Chain A
Amino acid sequence: MTTETVRVVVVPCSGIGKTYGTVSREAAYEVVDDLRPETSQLVPLSLLVLGEEGACTAVSHNPAITIDGCKLACATKMVQESGGQVAHDLAVLDVYRRHRQFKPQGIAELNEGGQQLAHALAEEVAALIDEVAEGADWM
């Protein structure tokens, strides 16, 4: 008997040319590369839009945490439309409201405030991944 390990899917905003979109992606990279590499995986929003099989399978077989850059909430909507279940949806704006000292600026390269905000967001996502992976707050 084998046990399938849950790897929480992280889907950030794909807004190009938007500071908050960049913050969401930087946070997602930090989560999957550094903070929770064993228990998370990154799925790009663009692949869900395309209906790419691997991306759709990932979101339909694993809980997802979405990070939206604006109120259009494309990441959250696209996961839902792809048959996935959103365990937690985070908005960069809400995280910024909790960390006003980290004012993000820049697009291709974030300023220091933006990098700190991305880090704070990544820490929040990592904590949520731990909850979800333990099954405490999923399904």
Chain B
Amino acid sequence: MVEYLEFTLDKFTFKVATDRYYHPDGVWAKEMDGRVTIGLSDFLQQRSGDIAFAEVADVGTTLAAGDEVANIETIKVDVSLPAPVSGTVVEVNPRLELEAEVINQSPYEDGWLAVIETANWEADRANLLDPPAYFAHMQAEAEEEVKKL
């Protein structure tokens, strides 16, 4: 059972899953046996809005950490998503082609983006945020967003 850190601001509640690591831009990474599943944080999907289309790098694409791994088009914005780890894309969520909204509905489970096979998990993880650090980072970003309203 995944546990979450939660933060409520105004009418929004943002969840941070505690069983994975995070790129500061809001892409999560969950490693298992050298394979890293990635997706959008709840904060990023809520801030971006309803997703119309998600384009993910093709299977076989080799990426360095920070390279664009996906692009999502929402009712508000187009968002380029960085790969949180280096490696090769070995799987893309097949649901995204026809049901990109699954990212909004289930950002930490069914709405995953891709699986990247990596040989450098330990090194890449050192550049990511653990859940409490991302939670603090996300809180600060959310509060900044509210100030702009």
Contacts and interface: CB of A to CB of B under 8 A. Distances in A.
Interface of A: 18-20, 70-71, 93, 96-97, 100, 103
Interface residues of B, number: 7
B75 A100 contact: no
Contacts of A103: 73
Contacts of B49: 70
Interface in B43-60: 49-50, 52-53
A131 B50 CA distance: 30
Given A20-B75, A100-B53, 11 more contacts: A19-B75, A70-B50, A71-B50, A93-B50, A93-B52, A93-B75, A96-B52, A97-B52, A97-B100, A100-B52, A103-B73
Contacts of A20: 75
17 contacts: A18-B75, A19-B75, A20-B75, A70-B49, A70-B50, A70-B75, A71-B50, A93-B50, A93-B52, A93-B75, A96-B52, A97-B52, A97-B53, A97-B100, A100-B52, A100-B53, A103-B73
Interface in B96-117: 100
Nearest to A91: B50
Nearest to A100: B53
Contacts of B53: 97, 100
Interface string B60-80: 000000000000010100000
